């Protein structure tokens, strides 16, 4: 089961532990193992002592082998893609969408298991607003705000589910298709994809688009390395691999 829990960069190991107990342990009990990256929070004495006392083994990924935590990376990319599609630039309310996105993600059938997370854990999929009967058209017995909220949730679930299904179809198409080698020539305009920490400060939000451009190809070093005409604000080498 996947849980999306909003938190702040300033949260320390104590706060993260509190959130974990509130949102995960209370629903599923104590885990046998926890896999994470080597963030300072997860390497702290408090965090290691807490889980050692509870009998939970901590496993850490390394810089050279991030695939140790590969499942989390895949989920994070999916979450980012869903939020970017739903928010449409309205980043202030991103955490309000977490419960709906989490529900939709856990209900969709995943390619690896051929089942949803709900089916794996509980044996069945819960009902969604899409499965319920249309709202009765009796204005005198229906609170308008409640109706509006119900329609909002229904439409949101439909959008999220459609987006997840679209992403799954894209992944299937990509995996079943032979990789095509694309070679750019000097003078071509290309679109650049970077990690968020490589973008200028105003573009470092996780919810911002991952691409920028087009930029002119100044030189082809080889088929996998090019020199691009990048703005100074990027502060990265124009030679990209």
Min mean pLDDT across 3-12, 137-146, 211-220 is at: 137-146
Min mean pLDDT across 21-35, 167-181, 195-209 is at: 195-209
**Pairing mode of beta strands 225-228, 211-222:** antiparallel
My answer on whether 118 and 25 are in the same domain is yes
Mean of pLDDT values over 211-223: 77
My answer on whether 107 and 211 are in the same domain is no
Q: How confident is the model at residue 184 (pLDDT cuts 50, 70, 90)?
A: confident
Note whether residue 157 is domain-resident: no
pLDDT in tens, 10-30: 899 999 999 999 999 999 999
The segment with the largest mean pLDDT, out of 13-22, 78-87, 116-125, is 13-22
My answer on whether 33 and 116 are in the same domain is yes
Note whether residue 158 is domain-resident: no
Min mean pLDDT across 43-52, 75-84, 209-218 is at: 209-218
Note whether residue 202 is domain-resident: yes
Note whether residue 150 is domain-resident: no
Mean of pLDDT values over 164-184: 71
My answer on whether 196 and 126 are in the same domain is no
My answer on whether 37 and 124 are in the same domain is yes
Instruction: Name the residue range of residue 194's domain.
Output: 188-234
Residue 37 tokens, joined: 């990256």
Is the confidence at residue 204, as pLDDT, over 60? no
pTM higher than 0.85 for the full model? no
My answer on whether 128 and 194 are in the same domain is no
Note whether residue 181 is domain-resident: no
Helix (H, G, I), strand (E, B) or coil at 36: strand
Report the CATH number that the domain containing residue 53 is assigned in CATH.
Answer: 3.30.420.10
Note whether residue 211 is domain-resident: yes
Note whether residue 139 is domain-resident: no
Helix (H, G, I), strand (E, B) or coil at 53: helix
Last residue of a domain, one of 132, 151, 173: 132
Number of domains in the chain: 2
Note whether residue 124 is domain-resident: yes
């Amino acid at each position: 089961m996947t849980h999306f829990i909003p938190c702040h960069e300033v949260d320390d190991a104590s706060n993260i532990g509190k959130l974990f107990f509130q949102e995960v342990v209370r629903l599923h009990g104590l885990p046998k193992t926890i896999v994470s990256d080597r963030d300072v929070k997860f390497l702290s004495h408090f965090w290691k002592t807490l889980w050692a006392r509870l009998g939970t083994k901590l496993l850490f990924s390394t810089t050279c082998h991030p695939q140790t935590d590969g499942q989390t990376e895949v989920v994070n990319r999916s979450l980012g893609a869903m939020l970017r599609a739903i928010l449409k630039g309205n980043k202030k309310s991103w955490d309000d969408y977490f419960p709906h996105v989490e529900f939709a993600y856990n209900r969709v059938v995943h390619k690896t298991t051929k089942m949803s997370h709900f089916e794996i854990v509980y044996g069945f999929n819960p009902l969604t607003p899409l499965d319920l009967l249309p709202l009765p058209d009796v204005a005198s017995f229906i609170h308008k705000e409640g109706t509006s909220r119900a329609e909002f949730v229904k439409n949101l679930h439909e959008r999220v589910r459609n987006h997840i299904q679209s992403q799954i179809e894209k992944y299937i198409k990509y995996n079943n298709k032979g990789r095509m080698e694309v070679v750019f020539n000097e003078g071509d305009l290309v679109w650049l994809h970077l990690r968020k920490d490589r973008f200028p400060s105003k573009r470092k939000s996780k919810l911002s688009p991952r691409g920028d451009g087009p930029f002119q190809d100044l030189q082809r070093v080889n088929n996998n390395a090019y020199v691009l005409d990048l703005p100074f604000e990027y502060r990265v080498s124009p030679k990209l691999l």
